[in-house]
Chain A
């Protein structure tokens, strides 16, 4: 056999070993002081992976694999699943907005025998027909973090009240600005996504500049908003958007950002323009890096949400459904807390110390 072909085949074999090791780890990471999976040869690491009879299978589908928010969500779900003796399957879209990837994961999990599936829909409308198909087969479907459109497409929703999250930073910003006339830039998510609209609209309502339907996926605006750009919640795009906004209107003094990565991007642009003392940035998420941004004075205030709680509640609900046949229903608010070190009277908030204790993601 030629040496090069041998190399190629060796890589393939090495990969098979890695995969075999992973498959047994993935199913029971915490509990197993793992079987000698590392010793596995190219032969399958049998036994560990397939669902044991009677074990409840729970699916978790996130928007992406990489966002720390979803990583934390997965941790919460895995911890709860291990505790309850359930098996957790995970899946995700290739990128935010990848509906077909989520549909595929959903179908595969139904075929894998999942009793219930927890999903953070990437495309709140597009996923609905596929969720319906899963529910028709008797699978419990719970939306986490992001509501579907209509919300009734799933059995239940466990999520932050994103409108409230926006409202809190809006109220805080109004108090913090005092008598200063606000000149606002909004760095938004993407068109047609409910979460993005709810935070944005909540913020403007909190500022007292607009009235909005808390469930709408359309952005409201006000004359004080001089620049609105989509960032897809991405730091690089946030920076570009802020640079463009500043060249459009250099008098901007208040920036709303859809999440903390976008806020850091905005800060980068603002600092480069030498305006970091004049501009206040508010955000939503409460990730550890975001709260650190509050400590460092880059972000003035942020609304903290709790992904771990959403996921563990979701796993609980599926396990309970498997035992008792009872389905959860309606909307459960998993809570939101305003984190700032410049508390304003009349607006409830906690300081960054509390924020760091309760944050998600890497510190």
Chain B
């Protein structure tokens, strides 16, 4: 890295060039600095159980942010993701508990509803050509209403399969949830797909310049519809993770999932303009939010400052992205 950096210093904006070369470096540096800072502030911070907890607390937004990253890479945005997650989670819980459906089948039906929403989002964006912002604002409200039409009270006493990802296994003396592992695996899969498959490259191409992508023979409408659908499946996984983490089907969940996931994506260095960014950055972005929330709490700082930090991180991240992008142009 230093070799590249020294080469870059010929140009006045060396730091920006490095960030531009690898957009993950900025967020990664911020994450490491934050971890070091909190480790000096609380002797409890670096304990295995606490780090495992931060990971657990990141799984729901982390899973939502995978789908959000895919959508944002195509130049779109998904405001409906938190409510699609909430709808799938109350359906999974409600079908299994109130309707006596086999829990595995209930989970699958939750996913089915997610897929339907994904196809609807994708079709409206591609077939009618509506802006993603408007389409997903609409489906956000539809999913919000459907949750409340389905249930207004919290669903408890869930069967074991729904709680599996909240269970833990031990590594040394540290308990890690299966949900944390699932999230990390998902990130690895999506990282591989985006990096090394033609489909992954077409996602970037569509976001970077849809017209050029079309001329290069990519069926942009099909890619977009697939992206919204795959994204919706990750919201279903988020729903399952949410249910297993909190142990209940909660009709009030997910209302800020859209903004929380966009926050993770943006802090992770993915451009809202589409075509640039990385899924690893998103994971780091989600972890940064989790680290600050946990670390500030351990320090005894009021939770309103956690919100303040998040706001500042978003602005810093977007500023860096904007500055490095403009210099490139």
B105 at the binding interface (Cβ < 8 Å): no
Contact indicator A126/B248 (Cβ below 8 Å): yes
Given the complex of chains A and B, what is the CA–CA distance between A123 and B156 in angstroms?
A: 12
Q: Which residue of B lies closest to A42 (CB)?
A: B37
Chain B contacts with A in 14-46, Cβ cutoff 8 A: 15-16, 37, 40-44
Q: Is there a chain B Cβ closer than 8 Å to A272's Cβ?
A: no
Instruction: Considering the complex, give the chain A residue whose CB is closest to the CB of B247.
Output: A129
Verify if A330 is at the interface (C-beta below 8 Å from B): no
B323: interface (CB < 8 Å) = yes
Contacts A2-B323, A89-B300, A112-B297 given: A46-B253 contact, CB under 8 Å? no
- Majority secondary structure, B binding face: helix
CA distance A126 to B300 in the complex (A): 25
Q: Does B212 contact A (CB under 8 A)?
A: no
Instruction: From B245, B250, B300, give the contact of A87 (CB < 8 A).
Output: B300
Asked whether A99 lies within 8 Å of B250 as measured between CB atoms, the reply is: yes
Count of residues in A whose CB is under 8 Å from the partner chain: 51
In the bound complex, residues from chain B placing their C-beta under 8 Å from that of A26 are 300-302, 305
The answer on a CB contact under 8 Å between B300 and A128 is no
Which of B15, B250, B316 has a CB less than 8 Å from the CB of A123?
A: B250
> Within the complex, what minimum Cβ distance (angstroms) separates A149 from chain B?
8
Q: A46, A95, A191: which contacts B152 (Cβ < 8 A)?
A: A191
CA distance A92 to B296 in the complex (A): 13
**Docked pose: A105 CA to B148 CA in angstroms:** 26
CA distance A105 to B303 in the complex (A): 8
Find out whether the CB atom of A123 lies under 8 angstroms from the CB atom of B297. Answer: no
Q: Is A27 an interface residue (CB 8 A)?
A: yes
- Asked whether A244 is an interface residue with its Cβ less than 8 Å from the other chain, the reply is no
A261 interface residue per 8 A CB criterion: no
Partner of A107, one of B15, B47, B57: B57
Residues of B with C-beta under 8 A to A90: 302-303
Cβ of B109 < 8 Å from any Cβ of A?
Answer: no
**Which residues of chain A are near B16, meaning CB under 8 Å?**
2, 5
Q: How far is the CB of B129 from chain A (nearest CB, A)?
A: 34
**A122 to B56 CA separation, bound complex (whole angstroms):** 21
B153 located at the interface, meaning its Cβ lies under 8 Å from any Cβ of chain A in the complex: yes
A129-B319 in contact (CB<8A): no
Query: B41 to chain A: closest CB distance in Å?
Result: 6
A126 touches B246 (CB 8 A): yes
The 8 closest A-B pairs by CB, nearest first: A129-B247, A191-B152, A108-B297, A125-B154, A97-B252, A192-B153, A126-B248, A126-B250
Residue ranges of B at the interface with A (Cβ–Cβ < 8 Å): 12-13, 15-16, 37, 40-44, 47, 49-50, 53, 56-57, 60, 148, 152-154, 156, 242, 245-248, 250, 252-253, 255-256, 293-294, 296-305, 307-309, 312, 315-316, 319-320, 323
